[in-house]
Chains A and B, each alone.
Chain A
Amino acid sequence: MENSLNSKGRFGIHGGQYIPETLMNAVIELEEAYNKYKDDPLFNKELTDLYNNYAGRPSRLYYAEHMTKDLGGAKVYLKREDLNHTGSHKINNVLGQCLLAKRMGKTRVIAETGAGQHGVATATVAALMGLECEVFMGEEDTKRQALNVYRMKLLGAKVHPVSSGTGTLKDAVSETMREWTNRIDDTHYVLGSVMGPHPFPTIVRDFQAVISREIKSQMLEAEGKLPDVVMACVGGGSNAIGAFYHFIEDKSVRLIGCEAAGRGIDTKETAATINTGREGIFHGMKSYFCQDEYGQIAPVYSISAGLDYPGIGPEHAWLYDTKRAEYVAVTDDEAVDAFEYLSRTEGIIPAIESAHAVAHALKIVKDIPKDQIVVINISGRGDKDVAAIARYRGEDIYE
Chain B
Amino acid sequence: MSNIYKAFENKKAFIPFVTCGDPSLEVTKEIIKAMALSGADLIELGIPFSDPTAEGPVIQEANIRALSGGVTTDKIFDMVKEIRKDVKIPMVFMTYANVVYSYGMEKFMTNAKEAGMDGIILPDVPYEEKEEFASVASKYGLDMISLIAPTSHERVKMIASSAEGFVYCVSSLGVTGVRSEITTDIGKMVELVKAAKDIPAAVGFGISTPEQAKKMAAYADGVIVGSAIVKIIAKYGKECVPYVAEYVKSMKEAITQ
A-to-B contact residues, CB < 8 Å: 1-8, 16-26, 164-165, 170-171, 174, 177-178, 181-184, 278-284, 286, 289, 291, 293-297
Q: Other than the known A4-B130, A5-B131, A281-B98, what 9 A-B pairs have Cβ atoms closer than 8 Å?
A: A1-B132, A7-B132, A20-B126, A21-B149, A21-B152, A181-B173, A286-B101, A295-B99, A295-B100
Q: Is the CB of A178 within 8 A of B175?
A: yes
Closest to B54 in A: A20
Q: Is the CB of B128 within 8 A of A6?
A: yes
Cβ of A282: which chain B residues have Cβ within 8 Å of it?
51, 97-98
Taken residue by residue from 130 to 155, chain B's Cβ proximity to chain A (1 for < 8 Å, 0 otherwise) reads as 11100010000000000111111101
Count of A-B contacts judged by CB separation below 8 Å: 136
**Given the complex of chains A and B, what is the CA–CA distance between A174 and B63 in angstroms?**
15
Cβ of A294: which chain B residues have Cβ within 8 Å of it?
72-74, 99, 102-103
Q: Is the CB of B170 within 8 A of A21?
A: yes
Cβ of A16: which chain B residues have Cβ within 8 Å of it?
128-129
B-to-A contact residues, CB < 8 Å: 49-51, 53-54, 56-57, 60, 67, 72-74, 97-103, 105, 123-132, 136, 147-153, 155, 159, 170, 173-175
Q: Is the CB of B175 within 8 A of A182?
A: yes
Q: Is the CB of A297 within 8 A of B105?
A: no
Q: Is the CB of B50 within 8 A of A297?
A: yes
Q: Is the CB of B127 within 8 A of A283?
A: no
Nearest CB on B from A175, distance (A)? 9
Closest to B131 in A: A4
Q: Is the CB of B174 within 8 A of A182?
A: yes
Nearest CB on A from B38, distance (A)? 30
Nearest CB on A from B107, distance (A)? 12
**Given the complex of chains A and B, what is the CA–CA distance between A5 and B159 in angstroms?**
15
Cβ of B175: which chain A residues have Cβ within 8 Å of it?
178, 181-182
Cβ of A184: which chain B residues have Cβ within 8 Å of it?
151, 173
Cβ of B102: which chain A residues have Cβ within 8 Å of it?
278, 280-281, 291, 293-295
**Given the complex of chains A and B, what is the CA–CA distance between A3 and B170 in angstroms?**
26
Contacts A21-B148, A184-B151: A296 and B126 contacting too (C-beta < 8 A)?
Answer: no
Nearest CB on B from A352, distance (A)? 25
Q: Is the CB of A295 within 8 A of B53?
A: no
**Given the complex of chains A and B, what is the CA–CA distance between A20 and B51 in angstroms?**
14
Closest to B148 in A: A21
| Neighbour of A281 across the interface among B67, B74, B101, B174, CB < 8 A | B101
Nearest CB on A from B163, distance (A)? 12
